[in-house]
Amino acid sequence: MKKSNNKLAILFSSLFLSTASMADDFSLNSTQIAHGEFMDKPQEFEGFGCSGGNKSPQLSWSNVPKDTVAFAITVYDPDAPTGSGWWHWQIVNIPSNVTSLPAGSGDQSNKLAPKGSRQINNDYGFPGFSGACPPEGHGVHRYQFTVHALSKILDLPENASGALTGYMINAHSLGSASIEALYKR
């Protein structure tokens, strides 16, 4: 009987320790999208046969890694039938004191993106957020919204590609947190 009590005590203390350490993990949250859930029409692209609002969702993050100098946010669809996925949004050099973006920050015309940040051309060919627009009948696509804590401000050329931007983000990432939302047409 004593051995099983010891095993229970070890199990409960392990669960407590792992839960306590998870509470301090870098995390990404949103009031408009959720992990494993389908996005709404406002996050659908407007164009290419899609008629959504093309509006980036509200995002907030917490438990930032120590020594973070800036943030980057990426939105990537690994299921796009391109052979290389599809970059829907890359915004870099978000100041380290910013821990949230309001809905619509990916639209350069409304000037909601933080001062000093830079939006990279998406795979539709313009800087800013481009919503979901998977081919009709192609099934469910995953949209990986990721915030990256960066060790430095990124110095990118004027017309940096999505691949180069991703490389530089990963080369200077102190940690990341993601929400994988879904969309289907």
Question: What range does the domain containing 130 cover?
Answer: 26-183
Q: Would you say residue 91 lies in a domain?
A: yes
Split into its structural domains, the chain has a count of: 1
pLDDT digits (tens, 9 = 90+) for 92-102: 999 999 999 99
Give the CATH number, domain containing residue 40.
3.90.280.10
Instruction: Please tell me the predicted confidence (pLDDT) of residue 10.
Output: 37
Instruction: Please tell me the predicted confidence (pLDDT) of residue 144.
Output: 98
Q: Which parts of the chain fold into alpha helices (H)?
A: 2-22, 162-171
Closest CA to 126 of 48, 40, 38, 29: 48
Q: Which pair of tokens denotes residue 19?
A: 């839960």
Instruction: Please tell me the predicted confidence (pLDDT) of residue 3.
Output: 46
**pLDDT lower than 50: segments of the chain:** 1-23
Q: Would you say residue 9 lies in a domain?
A: no
Q: Kindly report the pTM of this predicted structure.
A: 0.87
Q: Would you say residue 42 lies in a domain?
A: yes
